[in-house]
């Protein structure tokens, strides 16, 4: 407790002057009993005996029970009687002299209690001093805010029963002038709107703190409050002190208890300290619950992969073993909310104040944004969800085709990163123009409905053509493509060409997800009859033909089936079986097993080979956007094993790796001119690719690797650079947008057969004098069209020859 130095001075002076003798005197309150707890012009009710105690001049203060500290709540204004608005009559005891207790000047102006003309001139201004007339048997009546033994606590509503005014006394105190002005009507505005200057001030003789568990906590209270002994205070000031004590965060309850004493007001701050913090737990957290395998989801925190309970322990570990502090807990809550945000849980947050039990367990109520449902809403090309009749747009695609691509399910916590990947997978089906999501509140306000807004694209095409070619003569062709057969995303491709000399066809059917398969397995069945000029037997400075002068043509008839399954970490694996009947023919369809130099063009001397192979491939795709890649990588590995039919037994190995680095060297578009553009705003990148392959065992010459052309080393015609048993190839491209649908590229290609040309049966590259190694460089233009990206490249090879190359889509 702390005493006022003025109180100590008064006690010393009292002993020295012998003021212990009884003196008959009537004392008035040293501070006028105004109604400024609500308004300086309000009327104060006549106190009941229960509220006032033994002092007839005291009025009970309404109790405030709420522990909230935002404001001091009143049940109703406190009114004062007209007599209590008069200035006090000080020093009425019959004494030789009065004892003046000096008070430090009050910094805030005090509103006059009554008009200045009605205040006796002999009385000093209230704002300057309090004058006590003391005697041996007198009791100084110094009511604290017109209350005796009352408590001030944050936010307790007043008891309406206590606030009912009693009948005013029949006569005013003798010291009250008869001409005292009547108090004005009670204001209709709440007391909180009253200026602090209208409140009464009382002198504080002592400040006491009770309930603090440790001296350090008691010191926290003293440091927080502004009420000090020897100074005046007001009810608003006490409320501010209560708020300040609460704001330290160490206390669960605070009450201010002002009490009248002979020397002033003793203010006791009764506090309840928070318990020692031992544990922080989450209520309502789904991420803290193990899945069906007993595993918890991992979050990234401080560059480590941890579970949510582990992250909570790390966040609040420094607070354990100390008195729970709400301010420190709030700092931890902010870290927890940031942890949610950084890991994509953008809807998750702590939604209530911490609940601290007596055993030191702090419970945080969280709402993590659980997905209640995932719904599909189809939009037309104008973005409208209803047709002209007000009916919902009906899409061709069955909704489960979209939702099965989502790893997010009802019951999961909404994660922006996962949803974005889900949308990318669904968009990769190739049957949508646009996919985006909207979030609606669920039936449970803590849950969310995810609505996938879907705009479908045209997925079917039918074409017919007719013409004349040197290979087929007069021919007619029909082509049919459908990428969303029956709304199941099943793909059907059929192309048939009927000519004078041959019948060519290519049929395939793909189901991208076998129904009810939990592993997302897809399959493709195909049948084909194809004919083409082999690049192995074409190109080079020395043209080699068949004995009749024709170029050899490779005809393939066969079919196969393959299965593909996605794996973890963006891996995909494929396994297939294929059978082919392959023959070397002249233009009229006659089998021609040898060239003009007698070199065998097939594995068998008959010119017809039957080849059955098992194919396995794996790929890892980490690109940010397969269509316009600016970041990420792609790794592809494959092997093909011949099964030995017709004694053909070989293994083909291939590998390819592409890497993309976002750059901003040129700034032609507005997106690239931004300070920090997103990849979609500035599709500018350095793209690298390296690939290679080799064949083990004996193989037909037409199965050799070919180098040169649009999809190999540009600047050379297709197959012109080389043919070999092995090869390596590398490309670097700088891709940059120019405007809207047009972009450009600078490139450099290089490739080599690593000296393996002679290991191919008949040495087709050697007799055609292909260089085997070379490079090309140039510039290209890319144009986005409804048919896809059209690529046009102008390239110059290492011999100074130039070529123009056309293609669809990027090379890699």
Rounded CA-CA distance 353/333 in Å is: 10
d(CA 256, CA 226): 13
Q: Cα separation of 533 and 598, whole Å?
A: 19
pLDDT at 504: 93
Return the structure tokens found at 547.
Answer: 């004995």
Q: How far apart are CA 147 and CA 60, in angstroms?
A: 5
679's tokens = 């990849």
Task: With a cut of 80, say whether residue 65 has pLDDT above it.
Answer: no
List, for residues 196-221, the tens digit of each pLDDT value: 557 889 999 999 999 999 999 999 99
Residue 444 has pLDDT above 70, yes or no: yes
| Strand ranges (E), 352-430 | 355-356, 361-367, 370-379
pLDDT at 197: 54
- Angle CA(655)–CA(657)–CA(659) in degrees, nearest 5? 175
Tell me the HSE value of 107 on the side-chain side, using a 13 A CA sphere: 3
Instruction: Give strand pairing partners of 807.
Output: 791
- Minimum mean pLDDT among 172-176, 314-318, 324-328, 632-636: which range? 172-176
| Angle, vertex CA 401, rays to CA 397 and CA 405, nearest 5 | 140
The answer to whether the CB of 533 falls within 8 A of the CB of 716 is: no
Rounded CA separation 735/744 (Å): 6
* Residue 517: CB atoms within 10 Å: 12
CB atoms within 10 A of CB 799: 11
**In this structure, what are the phi and psi dihedrals at residue 379, rounded to the nearest 5 degrees?**
-120, 150
Lowest mean pLDDT among 138-147, 243-252, 693-702, 725-734: 138-147
Average pLDDT score, the chain: 79
Structure tokens at 541: 């400075």
Top pLDDT among 558 and 788 is at 558
Predicted confidence at residue 668, as pLDDT, reads 86
In this structure, what token pair is assigned to residue 279?
A: 């544990």
Question: C-alpha distances in angstroms, 92 versus 89, 142, 171, 498?
Answer: 7, 15, 19, 130
Helix pair angle (308-316, 326-342), 10° resolution:
140
**What's the pLDDT tens digit per position in 357-383?**
999 999 999 999 999 999 999 999 899
The pLDDT value given to residue 291: 85
Task: Name which of 345, 334, 343 is nearest 306 in CA terms.
Answer: 343
Q: How far apart are the first and last CA of the chain?
A: 81
CB 718 within 8 A of CB 708: yes
Residue with more model confidence, 580 or 192: 580
- Contact indicator for 481, 461 with CB cutoff of 8 Å: yes
Residues 347, 448 contacting (CB under 8 angstroms): yes
Q: How far apart are CA 69 and CA 711, in angstroms?
A: 74
**pLDDT reported for residue 501:** 79
**501 Cβ contact list (under 8 Å, min separation 6):** 471, 472, 473, 587, 588, 589
- Provide long-range contacts, Cβ within 8 A and 24+ apart, for 739-743: 739/668, 739/669, 741/783, 741/784, 741/785, 742/781, 742/782, 742/783, 742/784, 743/683, 743/781, 743/782
Residue keyed to tokens 């189901």? 511
- Buried-state track 703-731, b at ≥16 Cβ within 10 A, e below 16: bbbbbbbbebbbbbbbbbbbbbbbbbbbb
Please tell me the predicted confidence (pLDDT) of residue 107: 35
Instruction: Give residue 532's Cα distance to chain centre.
Output: 54
Would you say residue 116 has pLDDT above 50?
A: no
Q: Cα-Cα-Cα-Cα dihedral of 676, 677, 678, 684, to 10°?
A: -120
Please give the backbone phi and psi of residue 752, each rounded to the nearest 5 degrees, phi first.
-155, 145
pLDDT tens by residue, 734-743: 999 998 899 9
pLDDT at 698 over 90: yes
The pTM of this model reads 0.62
Residue 625 is predicted with a pLDDT of 86
Q: How far from chain centre, in Å, is Cα 461?
A: 41
- Locate 196 and state its tokens: 């602090």
According to the model, what pLDDT value does residue 790 have? 94
Q: Which pair of structure tokens corresponds to residue 317?
A: 């570990």
Per-residue model confidence as pLDDT tens digits over 763-785: 999 999 999 999 999 999 999 98
Say if residue 89's pLDDT is above 50.
no
Reported residue count of the chain is 812
Give the distance between the most distant pair of CA atoms in the chain. 150
| Alpha helices for 651-776 (secondary structure H) | 764-767
Res 562 pLDDT > 80: yes
> Would strands 202-210 and 264-273 be described as parallel, antiparallel, or unpaired?
parallel
- Whether residue 290 is predicted with pLDDT greater than 50 in this model: the reply is yes
Pair of tokens at residue 143: 């009511």
Rounded to an integer, what distance in angstroms lies between the CA atom of residue 417 and that of residue 437?
13
Q: Is 635 helix (H, G, I), strand (E, B) or coil?
A: strand
CA distance 624 to 369: 26
Say which residues have a Cβ less than 8 Å from residue 396's Cβ, sequence separation at least 6: 456, 459, 484, 487
In tens, the pLDDT along 591-605 reads 999 999 999 999 999
Of 209, 176, 165, the residue nearest 38 (C-alpha)? 165
Task: Pick from 32-36, 96-100, 182-186 the range whose average pLDDT is largest.
Answer: 182-186
- Strands 473-485 and 304-307 come out as unpaired
Query: Which residues, other chains included, contact 147 with Cβ-Cβ below 8 Å and sequence gap of 6+?
Result: 58, 59, 60, 61, 258, 260
The answer on pLDDT for 188 being more than 80 is no
Tokens found for residue 98: 């009065």
Which residues lie closer than 8 Å to 672 by C-beta, 6 or more apart? 664, 666, 681, 682, 684, 736, 737
Q: Which two tokens stand for residue 465?
A: 């053509």
Q: Is the pLDDT of residue 481 over 70?
A: yes
Residue 60's pLDDT band (boundaries 50, 70, 90)?
Answer: very low
Please choose, from the candidates 668, 704, 659, 712, the residue with its C-alpha nearest in 3D space to the C-alpha of residue 686.
659
Q: 126: helix, coil or strand? A: coil
pLDDT reading at 146 higher than 90: no
Look up residue 450 and give its two tokens: 């995810």
Using the 8-state DSSP alphabet, how is residue 428 labeled?
Answer: T
Q: How confident is the model at residue 129 (pLDDT cuts 50, 70, 90)?
A: very low
pLDDT at position 74 over 50: no
CA dihedral defined by 713, 719, 721, 725, rounded to 10 degrees?
100
Confidence class for position 726, pLDDT limits 50, 70, 90: very high
A 10 A CB-CB count for 254 gives 24
DSSP summary character for residue 170: S
Half-sphere exposure in the Cβ direction for 250 (13 Å, CA): 20
* Number of Cβ within a 10 Å radius of residue 740: 9
Strands 447-456, 802-808: pairing is unpaired
Q: Is the pLDDT assigned to residue 29 strictly greater than 90?
A: no
Q: Is the pLDDT of residue 762 over 70?
A: yes
Task: Output the pLDDT for position 673.
Answer: 86
DSSP state of 173: -
Residue pLDDT, tens place only, 383-398: 999 988 889 999 999 9
Query: Regarding predicted confidence, which is higher, 325 or 9?
Result: 325
Task: Please name the residue ranges forming H helices in 349-505.
Answer: 399-403, 416-427
- Please name which of 462, 717, 698, 465 lies closest in space to residue 603, comparing C-alpha atoms: 698
Kindly calculate the radius of gyration of the chain based on its CA atoms and give it in whole angstroms: 46
The Cα 263–Cα 259 span in angstroms is 11
For 40, 59, 83, 278, 339, the CA distances from 168, given in Å and listed in that order, are 19, 13, 10, 57, 64
Whether 82 has a pLDDT exceeding 60, the answer reads no
In percent, the amount of the chain with pLDDT more than 90 equals 63
**Going by DSSP bridges, is the β-strand pair 279-283/99-102 parallel, antiparallel, or unpaired?**
unpaired
Instruction: Give the C-alpha separation, 737 to 683, whole Å.
Output: 6
Q: How far is CA 195 from the centre of its chain?
A: 45
């Amino acid at each position: 407790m702390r005493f006022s130095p003025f109180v100590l001075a008064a006690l010393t002076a009292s002993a020295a002057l012998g003021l212990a003798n009884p003196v008959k005197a009537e004392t008035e309150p040293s501070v006028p009993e105004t109604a400024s707890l609500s308004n300086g012009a309000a009327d104060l009710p006549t106190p009941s005996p229960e509220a006032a105690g033994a002092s007839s001049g005291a009025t009970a203060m309404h109790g405030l029970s709420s522990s909230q500290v935002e404001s001091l709540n009143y049940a109703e204004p406190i009114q004062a009687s007209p007599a209590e608005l008069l200035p006090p009559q000080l020093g009425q005891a019959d004494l030789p002299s009065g004892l003046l207790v000096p008070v430090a000047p009050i910094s805030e102006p005090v509103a006059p209690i009554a008009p200045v003309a009605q205040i006796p001139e002999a009385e000093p201004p209230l704002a300057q001093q309090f004058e006590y007339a003391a005697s041996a048997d007198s009791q100084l009546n110094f009511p604290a805010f017109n209350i005796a033994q009352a408590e001030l606590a944050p936010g307790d509503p007043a008891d309406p029963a206590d606030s009912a005014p009693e009948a005013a006394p029949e006569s005013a105190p003798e010291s009250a002038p008869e001409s005292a002005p009547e108090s004005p009507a009670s204001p209709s505005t709440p007391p909180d709107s009253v200026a602090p200057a209208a409140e009464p001030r009382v002198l504080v003789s002592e400040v006491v703190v009770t309930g603090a568990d440790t001296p350090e906590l008691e010191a926290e209270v003293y440091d927080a409050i502004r009420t000090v002994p020897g100074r005046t205070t007001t009810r608003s000031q006490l409320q501010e002190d209560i708020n300040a004590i609460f704001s330290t965060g160490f206390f669960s309850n605070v009450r201010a208890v002002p009490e009248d004493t002979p020397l002033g007001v003793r203010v006791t701050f009764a506090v309840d300290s928070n318990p020692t913090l031992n544990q922080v737990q989450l209520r309502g957290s789904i991420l803290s619950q193990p899945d069906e395998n007993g595993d918890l989801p991992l979050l990234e925190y401080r560059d480590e992969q941890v579970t949510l309970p582990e992250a909570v322990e790390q966040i609040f570990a420094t607070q354990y073993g100390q008195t729970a502090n709400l301010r420190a807990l709030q700092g931890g809550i902010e870290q927890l909310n940031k942890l949610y945000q950084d890991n994509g849980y953008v809807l998750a947050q702590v939604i209530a104040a911490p609940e601290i039990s007596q055993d030191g367990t702090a419970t945080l109520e969280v709402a993590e944004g659980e997905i209640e449902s995932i719904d599909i809403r189809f939009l037309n090309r104008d973005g409208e969800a209803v047709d002209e009749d007000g009916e919902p747009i009906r899409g061709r695609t069955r909704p489960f085709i979209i939702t099965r691509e989502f790893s997010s399910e009802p019951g999961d916590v909404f994660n922006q990163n996962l949803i974005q990947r889900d949308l990318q997978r669904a968009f990769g089906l190739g049957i949508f123009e646009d996919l985006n999501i909207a979030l609606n509140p669920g039936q449970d306000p803590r849950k969310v409905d995810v609505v996938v807004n879907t705009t479908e694209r045209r997925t079917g095409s039918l074409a017919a053509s007719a013409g004349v070619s040197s290979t087929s003569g007069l021919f007619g062709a029909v082509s049919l493509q459908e990428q969303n057969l029956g709304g199941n995303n099943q793909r059907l491709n059929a192309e048939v060409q009927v000519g004078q000399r041959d019948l060519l066809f290519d049929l395939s059917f793909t189901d991208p997800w076998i129904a009810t398969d939990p592993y997302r397995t897809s399959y493709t069945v195909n049948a084909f009859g194809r004919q083409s000029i082999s690049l192995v037997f074409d190109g080079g400075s020395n043209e080699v033909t068949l004995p009749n002068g024709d170029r050899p043509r490779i005809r393939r008839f066969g079919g196969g089936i393959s299965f593909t399954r996605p794996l973890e970490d963006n891996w995909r694996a494929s396994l297939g079986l294929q059978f082919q009947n392959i023959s070397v023919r002249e233009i009229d369809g006659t089998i021609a097993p040898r060239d003009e130099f007698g070199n065998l063009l097939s594995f068998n001397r008959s010119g017809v080979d039957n080849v059955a192979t098992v194919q396995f491939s794996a790929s890892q795709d980490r690109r940010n956007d397969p269509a316009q890649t600016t970041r990420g990588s792609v790794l592809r590995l494959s092997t093909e094993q011949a099964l030995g039919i017709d004694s053909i037994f070989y293994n083909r190995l291939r590998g390819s790796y592409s890497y993309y680095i976002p750059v901003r060297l040129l700034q032609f578009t507005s997106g690239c001119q931004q300070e920090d553009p997103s990849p979609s705003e500035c599709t500018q990148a350095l793209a690298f690719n390296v690939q290679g392959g080799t064949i083990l065992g004996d193989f037909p010459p037409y199965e050799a690797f070919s180098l040169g052309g649009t999809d190999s080393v540009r600047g050379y015609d297709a197959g012109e650079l080389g043919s070999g048993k092995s090869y390596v190839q590398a490309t670097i491209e700088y891709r940059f947008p120019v405007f809207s649908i047009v972009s450009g590229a600078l490139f450099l290609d290089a490739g080599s057969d690593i000296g393996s040309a002679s290991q191919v049966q008949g040495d087709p590259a050697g007799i055609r004098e292909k260089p085997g190694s070379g490079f090309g460089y140039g510039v290209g233009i890319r144009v986005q069209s409804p048919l896809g990206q059209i690529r046009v490249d102008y390239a110059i090879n290492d011999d100074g020859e130039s070529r123009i190359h056309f293609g669809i889509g990027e090379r890699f």
